């Protein structure tokens, strides 16, 4: 009887919210790289305006993801279904730091906001995100495994 | 346990990230050992351009003038307010009968937010523009001081409901006002204290939708047949796209009879204070140069303006110094870029220019130029925030600029006022429009002998 109940308690764990925010920020950084490349190839100022918005929103949502992740990990530790791995955390925080520098680089006016510094930082951010997704996917895709415990 | 360890590590990494970003900002605020005075004169020292993740800035909080406070003047001069409680006064024009027009003007505030930086810079500008509510502004106030004692007997709203006006010019009975979007003509009779007739647009000027440098300076040629209009660039350095710069960063020559215009000179980022030098008859202007290449680049300047001349913006500065931020570049234009005549130091923001044609101030000021320097934001130490005098001889600058009116900043680096337009009144006194202090200042010679000389005129 009691054994059954403890198994039931395990099943009320809930999935964390922060991975959705991480994915949103990552999409912004990928977009920044795309529009940076477009500006580099065309020198059309339209593209760097897109980059400015994307990288800024990416950094804001990325910071939000970090705050939400810390709250969820600290406050709901025992009830959280999935926990991030080290690689996942370090990789994403690294990408956020690069993105923040990229955002500052993009506050420059015209060409040198992107070429070469902004473009390099945008590419590095996306590279870190890719490596992180490749090396540390389990926290996202092992949903439900802990519920069976 | 590993979970707890992870939390601590994550926190530490986040702190480290924060430290990295903020230390980058601090490094950009490193002390500036460069002498700004080495950039005053015909051959300014130009350091290598620097670019930043966070450009060095210092903003002067607005405190305004307390009762009885005035700016400080050079020896042999004295200063008093001619009028206070104005609404953001920026331009001054003295009519032939001695009446003084004070152009009160505010930014059109039409610039759309194109990118996040526009939001931040909009906030920054609103902090330092003016103290408190200055009312609707965008009007011209007339001051009449018949006996020349510096205390106007009449003060009236001369023209109201204008569109961010700046320049004024009178030719015969035609009074021209340069609004931000066009030169408008009004009928004027000597002695008028108010114009009620509607204006007629002579020539539309580039206003919105983007209207970055919005002050349109205005001067009439000596024979009165032509008007010259300063039209500033639509960006710091092309970040709003080249299409937005069409016919901007230029001085226009407008035919007064027909309104037809042509570009007289170009490559002038933000030309203001258009004035004819009395001895040579050449057109002179003060120009605000580009920002965010370092605290000591690019020096603002004053220069004579040649017909058809190209002065560099955006492609280069001080002749052939190419700006790396502009793509595509134009080597053909850079090659013919004219080096300006006289540098005024970096980021001093000259907005007013007047040659001294009076004779009541001390002898040394005769024939030279007064320049109103609105003051810097794009450097860690303040520069400008004063009126300087540049001696002239034979129609050319001849010697180092010297401070004439200072003290617009208090000892805590707060702005009591900021000078903009300058003019010489019928008694030969120097007038200064102070848009942050909402005052027009009047500088006269100190001492009873010269004061009587001034009043006798």
As for the ipTM of the complex, it is: 0.84
What are the pLDDT digits (tens) for A41-52? 999 999 999 999
Residue ranges covered by each domain of chain A: 16-148
Residue of A nearest to B291 (CA): A109
Asked whether residue B2 carries a pLDDT value surpassing 90, the answer given is no
What pLDDT, on a 0 to 100 scale, did the predictor assign at position B13?
A: 41
* Architecture of the domain whose range is B55-456: 6 Propeller (2.120)
Cβ atoms of B386 and B408 within 8 Å: the answer is yes
Pairing of strands B386-390, B369-373: antiparallel
What CA–CA distance (Å, rounded) separates B207 from B220?
A: 21
Cβ atoms of B220 and B176 within 8 Å: the answer is yes
What are the pLDDT digits (tens) for B3-25? 443 334 444 444 444 444 444 44
Provide the mean pLDDT of chain B.
91
Residue ranges covered by each domain of chain B: 55-456
Mutate to test the interface with B, among A39, A45, A94, A125 (most CBs of B within 10 A): A45
Per-residue DSSP letter, B409: B
Q: Is A130 on the interface with B (CB under 8 A)?
A: no
What CA–CA distance (Å, rounded) separates B374 from B376?
A: 7
What are the pLDDT digits (tens) for B409-439? 999 999 999 999 999 999 999 999 999 999 9
pLDDT band with cut points at 50, 70 and 90 for residue B132 = low
Q: Is A108 on the interface with B (CB under 8 A)?
A: yes
Reduce the DSSP state of residue B257 to 3 states and report it: coil
Q: Is A75 on the interface with B (CB under 8 A)?
A: no
* Beta-carbon separation of A112 and B325 below 8 A: yes
Q: What are the helix (H) ranges across B274-351?
A: 331-335
> Would you tell me how many other CB atoms lie within 10 Å of the CB of residue B128?
16
What pLDDT, on a 0 to 100 scale, did the predictor assign at position B397?
A: 98
* Beta-carbon separation of A49 and B24 below 8 A: no
Asked whether residue B1 carries a pLDDT value surpassing 90, the answer given is no
Per-residue DSSP letter, B49: P
Q: Per the structure block, which two tokens stand in for A101?
A: 């520098």
What CA–CA distance (Å, rounded) separates B103 from B95?
A: 13
Q: Is A83 on the interface with B (CB under 8 A)?
A: yes
What pLDDT, on a 0 to 100 scale, did the predictor assign at position B434?
A: 97
């Amino acid at each position: 009887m009691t054994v059954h109940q403890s198994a039931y308690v395990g099943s009320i764990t809930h999935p964390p919210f922060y991975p959705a925010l991480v994915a949103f920020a990552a999409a912004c950084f990928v977009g920044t790289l795309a529009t940076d490349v477009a500006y580099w190839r065309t020198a059309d100022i339209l593209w760097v305006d897109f980059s400015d918005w994307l990288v800024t929103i990416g950094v804001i949502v990325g910071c939000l993801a970090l705050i939400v992740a810390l709250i969820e990990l600290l406050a709901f530790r025992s009830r959280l279904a999935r926990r991030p791995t080290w690689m996942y955390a370090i990789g994403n925080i690294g990408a956020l730091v690069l993105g923040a520098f990229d955002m500052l680089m993009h506050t420059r006016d015209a060409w040198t906001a992107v070429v070469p510094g902004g473009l390099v930082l945008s590419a590095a951010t996306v590279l870190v995100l890719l490596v992180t997704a490749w090396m540390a996917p389990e926290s996202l895709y092992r949903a439900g495994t802990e519920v069976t415990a | 346990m590993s979970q707890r360890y992870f939390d601590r590590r994550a926190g530490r990494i986040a702190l480290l990230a924060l430290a990295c970003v903020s230390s980058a900002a601090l490094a950009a605020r490193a002390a500036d050992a460069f002498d700004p005075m080495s950039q005053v004169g015909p051959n300014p020292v130009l350091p290598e351009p620097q670019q930043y993740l966070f450009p060095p800035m210092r903003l002067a909080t607005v405190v305004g003038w307390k009762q009885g406070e005035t700016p400080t003047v050079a020896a042999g001069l004295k200063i008093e307010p001619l009028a206070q409680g104005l609404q953001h006064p920026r331009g001054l024009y003295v009519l032939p009968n001695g009446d003084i027009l004070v152009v009160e003007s505010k930014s059109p505030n039409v610039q759309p937010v194109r990118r996040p930086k526009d939001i931040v810079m909009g906030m920054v500008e609103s902090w330092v523009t003016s103290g408190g509510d200055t009312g609707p502004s965008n009007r011209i106030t007339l001051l009449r001081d018949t006996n020349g004692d510096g205390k106007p007997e009449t003060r009236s709203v001369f023209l109201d409901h204008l569109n961010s006006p700046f320049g004024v010019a009178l030719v015969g009975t035609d009074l021209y006002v340069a609004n931000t979007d066009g030169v408008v003509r009004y009928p004027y009779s000597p002695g008028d204290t108010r114009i009620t007739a509607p204006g007629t647009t002579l020539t539309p000027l580039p206003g919105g939708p983007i209207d970055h440098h919005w002050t349109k300076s205005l001067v009439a040629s000596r024979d009165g047949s032509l008007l010259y209009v300063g039209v500033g660039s639509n960006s710091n350095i092309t970040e709003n796209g080249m299409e937005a710069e069409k016919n901007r960063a230029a001085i226009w020559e407008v035919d007064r009879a027909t309104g037809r215009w042509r570009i007289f000179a170009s490559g002038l980022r933000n030309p203001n204070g258009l004035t004819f030098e009395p001895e040579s008859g050449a057109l002179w202007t003060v120009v605000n140069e580009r920002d965010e290449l370092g605290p000591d680049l690019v020096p603002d300047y004053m220069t004579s303006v040649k017909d058809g001349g190209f002065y560099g913006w955006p492609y280069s500065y001080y002749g052939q110094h190419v700006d790396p931020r502009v793509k595509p570049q134009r080597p053909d234009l850079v090659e013919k870029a004219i080096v300006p005549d006289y540098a005024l130091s970096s980021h001093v923001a000259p907005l007013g220019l007047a040659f001294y044609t009076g004779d009541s101030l001390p002898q040394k000021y005769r024939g030279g130029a007064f320049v109103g320097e609105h003051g810097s934001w794009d450097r860690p130490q303040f520069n400008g925030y004063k009126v300087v005098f540049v001696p002239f001889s034979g129609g050319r600058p001849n010697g180092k600029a010297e401070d004439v009116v200072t003290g617009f900043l208090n000892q805590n680096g707060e702005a009591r006022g900021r000078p903009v337009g300058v003019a010489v009144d019928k008694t030969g006194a120097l007038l200064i429009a102070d848009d942050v202090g909402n005052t027009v200042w009047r500088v006269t010679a100190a001492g009873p002998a010269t004061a009587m000389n001034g009043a006798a005129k």
